[in-house]
Amino acid sequence: MARRALKLASLTAATSGIYLYGNKFLDPNDFGIVRVGRAVATVHLRSAERLRKLCCANRGTFIKVGQHLGALDYLLPEEYTRTLKVLHSQAPQSTRQEIEQVIREDLGKEVLLLVVKQIFPDFEFMWLVEEAKKNLPLELDFLNEGRNAEKVAHMLKNFDFLKVPRIYWELSTRRVLLMEFMEGGQVNDKAYMEKNGINVNEISRNLGKLYSEMIFVNGFVHCDPHPGNVLVKKCPASGKAHIILLDHGLYQVLSDSFRMDYCRLWQALIKADMKRVQKYSRRLGAGDLYPLFACMLTARSWESVNRGIDRSPVSAREDVEIRSNAAAYLPQITQLLNNVPRQMLLLLKTNDLLRGIESALHTRASASSFLNMSRCCIRAVSTYQRSKSHSLYRRAQISLAEALSLWQINLYELFLWLKGSQLGNWVIALLSRMHHSTY
């Protein structure tokens, strides 16, 4: 126990010192911007290696934190994500007793965070400790994990591409969970997919469908989709690519009021309706920081949010801007995380992990994925409205409006498909010739 605490204290002090005093020794006027960039990269790499070794040594909670950080390709320096990615598939194994001991030790040493808070006044991550206290016991209850697995399998049974391991209850207890063995490649392993003839765009699209259904329609969300928990495999018999969802210990249950506000916020973001973006961001606790909140949710710049996040793909310049702003706005980000409802914290974590997968596969959210999100939001809001209405006429109105909105989305999706297909090009060319021949 004392040894782990000493290791953590040592890492905290060393890393804080490096970043606290680094600017003093990294002045571009002294030895050039290129050398400064190399020096900063070296600092990042050294700190990341220290963090990886600490995670492997202390295991338990540390592994989970390292896995999450390793998935944030779009946000963190490459030296960190490259170093910590190994924890997704090569994490050291722990016994039950070791895990429980690490948790007791981790949650008993909030003092280290308080020390960092004194060094960096803008550091506001005590909420993370409170969330860990609440969620980690659930993750370690294997009967709870088994029930979650069966619930999500039943809830999403219409998705034939989803596979959830079967639970063998007769051989399971709170400390032992026996489930069906499933194997495949990690969902961020683009090389594996190309080697096995799996379409990365299809996987990314289906993953988006899966999580949109969980978040917007059901309000029961798998909150740990790091690449080690989401596998892909091509079925030899059917030739279809399956998504295998593992580790069902941590789920977020969303209240109806929160879910409806979140649905309407995403509808506003997709439509670039800034008045409603502001309205529903404020209702979700963002206050005057609603522009930052919108950028955090979409992983896009404020300029792109205003223009419409489905209008253009993420550019290299925008990626650099997002990474730079994440560091520059750390005090505001931590303030925002302190203010939003606790339900939002795990959703933000889930969003981060999904964005990391998209970044690794080079399939950042497309117009098609936003259309799927829109469908889920429309269905969710309509179902909620019908449940609150006692009038048959009003329920019929809601159903008609729902059908019309879904039809409009289908029509727009058909237009986009025609626009990008050879048939569509031929039709457009033919109509153009017919138009010019009339004059």
Q: Which of 5-9, 153-157, 352-356 has the highest mean pLDDT?
A: 153-157
Higher pLDDT, 425 or 52: 52
Residue 210, pLDDT > 90, answer yes
Residue 371, pLDDT > 80, answer yes
144-154 residue pLDDT tens: 899 999 999 99
Q: Are residues 24 and 106 in the same domain?
A: yes
- 131 is in which domain, residue-wise? 2-136
406-429 residue pLDDT tens: 999 888 888 877 776 665 566 556
- Across 40-59, b (16+ Cβ under 10 Å) vs e yields eeebbbebbebbbebbbebb
Banded pLDDT at 25 (limits 50, 70, 90): very low
Q: Which of 224, 261, 310, 352 is catalytic?
A: 224
Higher pLDDT, 102 or 173: 173
- 224 assigned to active site: yes
Is position 429 within any domain? no
pLDDT of residue 432: 56
Tokens of 226: 């790091």
C-alpha closest to that of 260 among 217, 294, 306: 217
Q: Are residues 111 and 19 in the same domain?
A: yes
Q: Are residues 399 and 269 in the same domain?
A: yes
Q: Are residues 276 and 367 in the same domain?
A: yes
Is position 329 within any domain? yes
Domain finish residue from 85, 107, 136? 136
pLDDT of residue 329: 80
Q: Report the chain's mean pLDDT, rounded to a whole number.
A: 78
Q: Are residues 266 and 247 in the same domain?
A: no
Query: Measured between alpha carbons, how far is 126 from 303 in angstroms, rounded to an integer?
Result: 32
pLDDT of residue 165: 95
Query: Measured between alpha carbons, how far is 65 from 175 in angstroms, rounded to an integer?
Result: 22
Is position 435 within any domain? no
Sheet holding 230-234, edge to edge: 162-163, 241-245, 230-234, 185-186
pLDDT of residue 426: 62
Q: Are residues 318 and 184 in the same domain?
A: no
State the average pLDDT over residues 30-41: 51
pLDDT of residue 439: 44
80-93 residue pLDDT tens: 777 777 676 666 66
Q: Are residues 165 and 273 in the same domain?
A: no
Q: Are residues 215 and 195 in the same domain?
A: yes
58-114 residue pLDDT tens: 666 667 667 766 666 555 677 777 777 767 666 666 566 665 554 455 444 474 455
Q: What are the phi and psi torsion angles at 311 (to 5°)? A: -85, -30
Q: Are residues 235 and 282 in the same domain?
A: no
Banded pLDDT at 318 (limits 50, 70, 90): confident
Residue 294, pLDDT > 50, answer yes
Q: Are residues 179 and 79 in the same domain?
A: no
The alpha carbon torsion through 114, 118, 120, 124 (nearest 10 deg) reads: 40
Q: What is the pTM of this model?
A: 0.72
219-271 residue pLDDT tens: 999 988 888 899 999 988 888 999 999 989 888 899 999 999 999 999 999 99
State the average pLDDT over residues 168-182: 87
Query: Measured between alpha carbons, how far is 100 from 91 in angstroms, rounded to an integer?
Result: 17
Is position 427 within any domain? no
Domain finish residue from 136, 151, 166? 136
State the average pLDDT over residues 126-137: 56
Beta-carbon contacts of 17 under 8 Å, excluding residues fewer than 6 positions away, are none
How many domains is the chain partitioned into structurally? 3
Residue 212, pLDDT > 90, answer yes
Residue 204, pLDDT > 80, answer yes
Q: Are residues 268 and 404 in the same domain?
A: yes
Q: Are residues 273 and 302 in the same domain?
A: yes
